[in-house]
Amino acid sequence: MADDLETLKNDTLTALAAATDQGAWDSVRVGTLGKSGALTGLLKQLGKLDPQERRERGQALNRLRDELTVAIEARGRELEEEALQARLTSERVDVTMPAPLPVTGAIHPISRTIEEMTAIFGAMGFAVAEGPDIESQWHNFSALNTPDHHPARTEHDTFYLPAKGGDGGEPRVLRTQTSGVQIRTMLTQEPPLRIIAPGRTYRADHDATHSPMFHQCEGLVVDRNITLGHLKGCLIEFLRVFFDKPNLPVRFRASYFPFTEPSMEVDIGWSKASGEIGGGSDWLEVLGSGMVHPRVLANCGLDPSEWQGFAFGMGIERLAMLKNGIPDLRSFYESDLRWLRHYGFSAFSPATLTEGV
Ligand code: DAH
């Protein structure tokens, strides 16, 4: 290779090695191979040479151009890679760093308790069902086998809304229980059914232990060959997981609800003196339950000789108070931030069976 080409080659390679960013690299590329680049200039002069010289010089220049093109491209890729690495380092996010705890918000104990119930029953194959807060008397009472003269229907207990067409002009009610969702579910879904229905309920009651608006969680299972054994197994399991007490004593006590036969109230063991759940020798009622009354199944078009079921209903505030040591029902609805910070839950650890309920 002629000396001037050797020099061009060495100068270019040195400049390439010294180019540490894309801009400097581009100047070397243009300065060598560009329209007015050094190598392009030499190629242009070929025409002035005589044929013999032109062939030799031409071959040498072509070789040099190939060599430099490869070197320039390689350096370009190197710089791109370096730039990418630099970005990856400077823009790195440490995903293992704990998120700052929410100082401005917390999950309300009622929402949390609904999440916990959903997680536990969800693991037992239950789906969540919903119904409206404003309900027809038929869904809230009649279809649930509640006679017209039943005390729950009196204005003393129930909020009635002005009659307005539909339902034969019969006034609607603010639902007094979530049990109407049983009816809506049986009317719209084919058995077998396994649902819970958490939601708001309303009664014309207001004192230290009653609020005109409160929450219940309904449960309904309809299938073939369902027995009281299934009801007991399911509710004992739920209560033991919910209170995180594998040996929690659970007692079933005969009772009456219009929509179940037989009906049972369910008590858990606790100590009245210390308030400890599962300890002591006292009993505390926590929910109502029973085998779905054949008339309720028939009201929903199901043949009671083919389908059986069990149902249950519980007060969400009551269970939340017992589990979390919350002494006053009214405090749930006061929106006192100090209370919420104390009894609320972090949004960063939702209720699941693996994270804990
Ligand atoms: N709805 C009842 C109440 O408000 C609770 C209840 C009891 C629901 C027994 C049920 C059940 O589904 O089987 O007091």
234-243 pLDDT, tens digit per residue, is 999 999 999 9
Q: Which atom of ligand 1 is nearest to the CA of 220?
A: 12
Mean pLDDT, rounded, of the chain = 93
Q: How far is the CA of 123 from the centre of ligand 1 (A)?
A: 22
pTM (global) more than 0.85: no
The DSSP bridge pattern shows strands 193-202 and 127-128 to be parallel
Angle (CA) 199 213 152, round 5° = 90
Question: Any idea how long the chain is?
Answer: 357
Ligand 1 binding pocket includes 218 (Cβ within 6 Å): yes
pLDDT, tens digit (0-9, with 9 covering 90-100), for 190-230: 999 999 999 999 999 988 889 999 999 999 999 999 999 99
Burial of 53 (0-12, 13-18, 19+ CB in 10 A): exposed
Does ligand 1 lie within 6 Å of residue 322's CB atom? no
CA–CA gap between residue 315 and residue 329 (Å, rounded)? 11
Site to probe by mutation for ligand 1, drawn from 213, 259, 266, 293 as the one with most ligand atoms within 8 Å of Cβ, is 259
What is the residue with the minimal CA distance to atom 6 of ligand 1? Answer: 313
111 CB near ligand 1 (under 6 Å): no
pLDDT tens across 4-22, in order?
A: 899 999 999 999 999 999 9
> 72: CA distance to ligand 1 center in Å?
81
pLDDT at 98 over 90: no
Q: How far is the CA of 26 from the centre of ligand 1 (A)?
A: 79
Residue 231, both tokens: 């009801």
3-state class (DSSP) for residue 214: strand
With beta carbons less than 8 A apart as the criterion, state whether 327 and 343 touch. no
Distance of CA 100 to the CA centre of its chain: 20
